[in-house]
Structure 1
Amino acid sequence: MSEKIVVGVTEASSSRRAVEWAVSRATAHRQSIELLSVVGGAVGTIGEGAVLQAAVEATQQHLDGEAERIRRDGLTVTTRVEAGDPVTVLSTASEGAALLVIGSDYRGPGEGPARGSHGIRIVAGAHSPVVVVPDFEIDGERSGVVVGVDGSPVSEAAIAFAAAEADRLGEPLTAVIVWTPIAAPRNSLMVSPQAYRDGMEQNAREALAISLAGLRSRYPGLEIEEAVAEGFPSVIINDLAESARLTVVGSRGHGAVRRFLLGSISHEVLQRLATVTAVVR
């Protein structure tokens, strides 16, 4: 496995937050960091070459400044500037990386529009886990790592990532599974039988227990809380994430086309970031 963390760098304030998160992680795991910026917008217009070259040089200067700022004892930092489409360049750069880290311009509920499709497309197209850092302070009152569980293989990967991060941070891990009953039309008089609801909840509890089997023996000092809730997964996950330091969800993107599509849950979690969020495949 690669020991390199690739960080997508822009001049936005969220980018600096992403860099700081990556530095903390790289220092703890003794990983290297590659700061990568993408100059986009070239269309082949006459005279564009000089403009592009000037943009590349200015971007390189910015990266050099960031690299100098974050270099610590034993931390290897490299820089790279590429011209092209940011989604394609960053997705390609994630191939062979341990982690891709990007910033988000989303600043929380009531602070502007939801995260646009650009960052979501980068996450969906990446080959490695991706950490998305929102543009607000994750204050000291927050604690814990939240992971969404659904019993699928990608969910297992998300649990493994979340447990390792919670153990590294010395924070509790909350593993949440959400069950959603069949939706009836609003004007329907149908009421879900209690036996059906009880069965749904029991199935969820069993799936969660199976998913977490062996985790306590692997991390004997890790505090693990099991949460079973009724509702819609992305809403429940983001509610829990509002007081957490990190949220982890899985992505089901596979194949040449589906790799650029996120599952609805991870997509919706990223649209309204409540904390630093990792998407694992």
Structure 2
Amino acid sequence: MTEKIVVGVTEAPVTRRAVDWAVRRAAHRGQQVELVSVVGGAIGAVGESSVMATVLDAHRHMLEAEVARAASSGVHITTRVVAGNPVNVLVEESANAALLVIGSDYRGPGSGPARGAHGIRVVAASHCPVVVVPDIDIHDRTGVLVGVDGSPVSEGAIRFAAAEADRLGEPLIAVCVWTPVTAPRNAAMVYPELYLANMQRTAEENLALSLAGLRAQYPDLVIDERAVKGYPAAVINALAADAKLAVIGTRGRSAVARFLLGSISHEVLQRVATVTVITR
């Protein structure tokens, strides 16, 4: 597997946070970083070539400034400026990357959705895990949060999260969210205590099975297991608001649905609360 981290670079202020995150991880793991800036909008109009030349040159200078800013890290950083469709270019780049890092200008509740359609499509179609970095200061936060549901996709997320928590010296917060069967709003529904207790117990057992073996693999890792009643996306983002990193899995890519995310991962990214990794 390649050890290259690809970062999608734009003029947005959050780009600095995305580049910094990628460079720190690369420095710690001995990886390389490639900064990619995509210039879209070209249609081949008469006189467009001179405009594109000027714009491409401006993007090169932008990337050079980022390389200079990260020079003290010691990380090997390369740059690429590409003319094309941003989604397609970044998805193609992800095929030869260990991680794809993109920024989000989301700044918390009240600031609008985390990503527009382009960002969601990049995450959904990527060949490698995608790291979404919001424009939020996470310096004083603790913990690596991972969503657990017992699926093979969840197992991949757990492996990634455990490795990151161990690398960062942070506790691993493993959360399994269970949701009672939904009744119509006008139904006078009272859930039996036995049903609720069994749902809680099932979630706790699911956590225990999913995390089995982690303590032997990472003997110094602190693992905080939480089985929580609620709606998954809401619970994950509420807990992620205090975490340094969140990791969730999404189903694989298919020819028909490769631009679609699972509902939970999509909703998490709409209100992304910390640096969030989407694995497969």
Say yes or no: TM over 0.5.
yes
Moved more, 176-185 or 117-126: 117-126
Contact 2:147 / 2:176 at 8 angstroms: preserved in 1? yes
Q: Offset of 1:76 from its aligned partner?
A: 0.7
Which amino acid letter does the alignment assign opposite residue 280 of structure 1? T
CA distance, structure 2, for counterparts of residue 9 and residue 204 of structure 1: 40
Residue aligned with 2:80, SS? strand
Q: Offset of 1:34 from its aligned partner?
A: 0.2
TM-score (norm 1): 0.97
Residue aligned with 1:190, SS? coil
Cα root mean square deviation, aligned: 1.2
Cα deviation, 1:100-150, whole Å, max 9, x if unaligned, reads 00100111112344432221111111110011100121132x100100011
CA distance, structure 2, for counterparts of residue 60 and residue 102 of structure 1: 18
Q: Offset of 1:259 from its aligned partner?
A: 2.2
Contact 2:143 / 2:171 at 8 angstroms: preserved in 1? yes
Moved more, 181-190 or 239-248: 181-190
Counterpart residue number, 1:220: 219
Cα deviation, 1:211-250, whole Å, max 9, x if unaligned, reads 1000010000000000000110011001111111000001
Counterpart residue number, 1:242: 241
Counterpart residue number, 1:69: 69
CA distance, structure 1, for counterparts of residue 73 and residue 87 of structure 2: 32
Runs of 4+ in 1 over 4 A off after TM superposition: none
Counterpart residue number, 1:85: 85
Contact 1:233 / 1:265 at 8 angstroms: preserved in 2? yes
Residue aligned with 2:6, SS? strand
CA distance, structure 1, for counterparts of residue 226 and residue 115 of structure 2: 27
Q: Offset of 1:71 from its aligned partner?
A: 2.3
Moved more, 163-172 or 51-60: 51-60
Residue aligned with 1:72, SS? helix
Counterpart residue number, 2:123: 123
CA distance, structure 1, for counterparts of residue 72 and residue 4 of structure 2: 16
TM-score (norm 2): 0.97
Moved more, 29-38 or 116-125: 116-125
Q: Offset of 1:154 from its aligned partner?
A: 0.7
Contact 1:253 / 1:261 at 8 angstroms: preserved in 2? no
Counterpart residue number, 2:188: 189
Q: Offset of 1:91 from its aligned partner?
A: 0.8
Percent identity between matched residues is 62
- Structure 1 stretches lacking a partner, 5+ long: none
Counterpart residue number, 1:151: 150
Cα deviation, 1:129-188, whole Å, max 9, x if unaligned, reads 011100121132x10010001111110000000001100110001000001111101111
- Counting matched residue pairs gives 280
Which amino acid letter does the alignment assign opposite residue 19 of structure 2? V
Distance verdict in 2 for CA 1:113–1:266, change over 3 Å: closer
CA distance, structure 2, for counterparts of residue 267 and residue 60 of structure 1: 32
Matched, 1:168 2:132: no
